[in-house]
Structure 1
């Protein structure tokens, strides 16, 4: 039993649980809260710690006004641990101490980050940490240079780490609404969020591609090309950002809610299209957006970011695979083609399992929140609750952190549901399913198969 609990699939689960428990304990201390404010309950401390480790951003108290610098520092460390992955950090520590990392740990880490079991763990981990710290430092300096008053040294660093790790934690009660029309600040956050949501493998592949193109400039030779995985991630991400921007812009303009010029409305739509897939920052009041926008945002949150990144959701590659399957069915083909390659049946099975399992989890959580938060009342007394609870459940599962205002009013049971959703969303349903499957033994028999009419 003990050996099964310490398999590579279960180690990240235990690391996340330990980090959440330690973070919850530290956030519950009196030194973590401002003088004169009510103490944070143990459940709320665990909720905040889970939101930070799972880089979600859902909060029950305002981070900037409730927590001291110590409390904010604890949250920042938890965000960094969750962004890079507790397992990645632990493997790096083993490497720096001169200890040998087992083959099973190599395979587990590579499955999360690189999808390549032949890579050199030590070199890659060092590049990940150095690259992350470099991007976050540049982001902090940029924010400070753009607005030294709004983003002091600590605030700039906090928001830069939170943006790159796609956490959505901010030190201002209105998130980033006061910078809604500031193109520089918006673009800085968009770039940080995008880099953190692409995945470490994609960033690594793009850096190699750029270096090769610079080295071969002016020479007549074969041009380097991005990997198949990177190409799919970049093209799908670009499409989602563009489609989300157009959809949110159109919905808000038709609703007449967002005031200001069309360029300001377009900037707000672009920012929310990028942020709602993973980050959780907002430059407009989410609770005041149209239902059409909220529905589009729920769809974007369900997709999320890319594999091996700081983001949650079913991932961009899964969405691209499902679209490829639909196109193949309409064309009457047999192979599901994604880009320049076709997928095997095992990959298709994983994609379907992930989408179905994620959908079931979100629906079950929405039902649970409807029961615990008053949605079980007659419809004429509970109008709007269903959309709000679905938005909350999807935000927690996708580790996004956006809310229509329900998070702070959740009941203890509702907050427990949120904690479980954030953990499953950060680790991934497939990961947990694989962890449970590692306990099971394959049957040594097969049942006769038959066809069944469908549709």
Structure 2
């Protein structure tokens, strides 16, 4: 079939016009895309700020029903906040969709948010939201489906907040030039968050929350895994308050940065060299390439041991619980508290009540968790690797591991024998000889930063108290959840004294020469720790009306993050509590680490001055 010539000409002209129109549209569209791209770059910081504001509203909306008694005013306020969350979520999604240059890819990647936004629009229309944003919904007769959807939406947004923080973590780590300062700030941030949460009315049984100084004290004690308490953990806190304390203990024990980085590695890829350099000192790994592997082992080992410990507690309790749920809670709480060397207990008298104090299963479970938590992850992993790797160069333990194991064993045995001998006819008089050995062993282990007790610490004689002070001051081992000056510091200084007295001009341990810088560092740690304890004790005597021994014991216990007390913690004044808070914080982050974090760095001198003797006698 042939078309007339003029029709063909018109068709060709129409096609030409269509091509020209498409060309003009594409050109204008590219200009528009460039404009949108420029707008997107300008709007990006504002969108991030909007997302942060939306995240804060989500957190507030979750905390209101948990942390406060729901009065009609609070119910209305929470409904207002939830309405703004809905509107903000939809607006955030639409704005990002409009500003993105590739909407198809954006919708493919964010399809779930698109579906949720669509449902949110339907819900907003259904509840009659006005164009100016006056929101009034979710009253008592609101449909249950709406409430369920809102709870799911808030849970999703909270999950997104966590993911966004984890995605920002590598950038944050890469910006750090001072690992010590970064570590200090992370602990301070966690303490501040815990203080705020413990001040919420829903955290305490009386519905009033803790006052600021008590909340700060409890949060610091939990984050610094100390265990000193100004209120009874067993009776003063609600389940919400107990879970806050448990979370602070866990994050403080293994480190919030360590835990956050573990989650990032779990949901994302690896880290760069800069980030691993920052984490190297945090996880106690000298080899930068092994940082991520070490971090995974630390967190994995922690969770496995705590899970086994919780099972051990669950089958070992001789105490009757109202329900299996409470039995599980007590088991998990004490397993985490014991492994992290925190000393917090959900029993009023810690483990000093009859069924717990004399139970072999409870004592063995607790002591095992304390020792494993106090040895240090480096030592534990080297021992595991030695058992699984039979290569010739792996058979000999490092000097660090041998020093930790030897010193720990000597301190445990010596502490047990001394407490047993000094308290045989005193606090141990009512126990059978087998139980006397068990109780003495428990006190020897728990004194080195764990904080649990199976006898009344205030009733122990002065001589045994001095022994416990020495053990508290020494504490656990490096790269562990324990505090104190550390076993290796004590061993190095003691060995240095012996070698100096015998006339050596260098120090040797296990047929290895220890560098002088290690000796200098160990002596510096001891002198700084002793100075801090001395100054804090003097300050406590100025503001408190208690005996010197009680105050000195309290201060050493705080600085060494032990948590044992002679019964004066709850009677401290606000100034006394603040002094103890500072001591706990310095003891946890390490006073040398704290001072080095804010000290002015200087380059190591490449020259050496002539030597000249100073008379030291």
Structure 1 length-normalised TM: 0.90
Q: Is the 8 A contact 2:233 2:242 kept in 1?
A: yes
Identify which range, 314-323 or 223-232, moves more after superposition: 223-232
Q: Is the 8 A contact 1:55 1:82 kept in 2?
A: yes
Q: Which residue of 1 aligns with 2:239?
A: 69
Task: Tell me the alpha carbon deviations over residues 95-122 of structure 1, each in whole angstroms, 9 at most, x when there is no partner.
Answer: 3453664545423433343341334222
| Match for residue 59 of structure 1 among 214, 229, 244 | 229
Report the CA distance between 1:91 and its aligned residue. 2.7
Report the CA distance between 1:148 and its aligned residue. 6.3
Q: Which residue of 2 aligns with 1:160?
A: 335
Identify which range, 155-164 or 175-184, moves more after superposition: 175-184
Task: Tell me the alpha carbon deviations over residues 149-169 of structure 1, each in whole angstroms, 9 at most, x when there is no partner.
Answer: 457110000000000000000
Q: Is the 8 A contact 1:228 1:340 kept in 2?
A: no
Map 1:187-202 to 2 at 5 A: 187-202=364-379
Q: Which residue of 1 aligns with 2:352?
A: 177
Q: 1:340 to 1:114 in 2, by over 3 A?
A: farther
Q: 2 CA distance for matches of 1:449 and 1:373?
A: 49
Task: Tell me the alpha carbon deviations over residues 18-52 of structure 1, each in whole angstroms, 9 at most, x when there is no partner.
Answer: 1011111111111111146x642111001100000
Q: Is the 8 A contact 1:113 1:307 kept in 2?
A: no
Q: 2 CA distance for matches of 1:202 and 1:446?
A: 36
Matched, 1:301 2:472: yes
Q: 1:369 to 1:223 in 2, by over 3 A?
A: closer
Q: 2 CA distance for matches of 1:104 and 1:161?
A: 32
Q: 1:105 to 1:258 in 2, by over 3 A?
A: farther
Q: Is the 8 A contact 1:94 1:101 kept in 2?
A: no
Q: Is the 8 A contact 1:12 1:86 kept in 2?
A: no
Task: Tell me the alpha carbon deviations over residues 218-241 of structure 1, each in whole angstroms, 9 at most, x when there is no partner.
Answer: xxx888232221111111100000
Report the CA distance between 1:409 and its aligned residue. 0.7
Q: 1:104 to 1:298 in 2, by over 3 A?
A: farther
Structure 2 length-normalised TM: 0.67
Q: 2 CA distance for matches of 1:240 and 1:119?
A: 35
Task: Tell me the alpha carbon deviations over residues 271-325 of structure 1, each in whole angstroms, 9 at most, x when there is no partner.
Answer: 0100010100000000001111111011001110000000001101001101111
Q: Is the 8 A contact 2:285 2:294 kept in 1?
A: no
Report the CA distance between 1:92 and its aligned residue. 2.4
Structure 1's unaligned 5+ residue stretches are 376-384
Q: 1:330 to 1:450 in 2, by over 3 A?
A: closer
Q: 1:112 to 1:303 in 2, by over 3 A?
A: farther
Q: 1 CA distance for matches of 2:570 and 2:286?
A: 42
Supply the RMSD in Å over aligned alpha carbons.
2.4
Q: Which residue of 2 aligns with 1:425?
A: 587
Q: Which residue of 1 aligns with 2:286?
A: 116
Q: 1 CA distance for matches of 2:275 and 2:430?
A: 52
| Larger Cα-atom Rg | 2
Q: Secondary structure at the match of 1:253?
A: coil
Q: 2 CA distance for matches of 1:187 and 1:125?
A: 28
Report the CA distance between 1:253 and its aligned residue. 1.6
Q: 1:447 to 1:339 in 2, by over 3 A?
A: closer
Number of residue pairs the alignment of both structures matches:
436
Structure 2's unaligned 5+ residue stretches are 1-173, 322-326
Matched, 1:392 2:534: no
**Which is helix-richer, 1 or 2?**
2
Q: 2 CA distance for matches of 1:125 and 1:407?
A: 36
Q: 2 CA distance for matches of 1:400 and 1:44?
A: 18
Q: 1 CA distance for matches of 2:176 and 2:383?
A: 37
| Match for residue 504 of structure 2 among 316, 322, 333 | 333
Q: Is the 8 A contact 1:106 1:117 kept in 2?
A: no
Q: 1:449 to 1:225 in 2, by over 3 A?
A: closer
Q: Is the 8 A contact 2:427 2:455 kept in 1?
A: no
Q: Secondary structure at the match of 1:326?
A: helix
Q: 1:402 to 1:134 in 2, by over 3 A?
A: same
Task: Tell me the alpha carbon deviations over residues 316-362 of structure 1, each in whole angstroms, 9 at most, x when there is no partner.
Answer: 10011011111102211111112231211111110110010001001
Q: 1 CA distance for matches of 2:538 and 2:430?
A: 35
Report the CA distance between 1:433 and its aligned residue. 2.1
Q: Is the 8 A contact 2:246 2:336 kept in 1?
A: yes
Matched, 1:27 2:198: yes
Report the CA distance between 1:449 and its aligned residue. 7.2
Q: Which residue of 2 aligns with 1:410?
A: 572
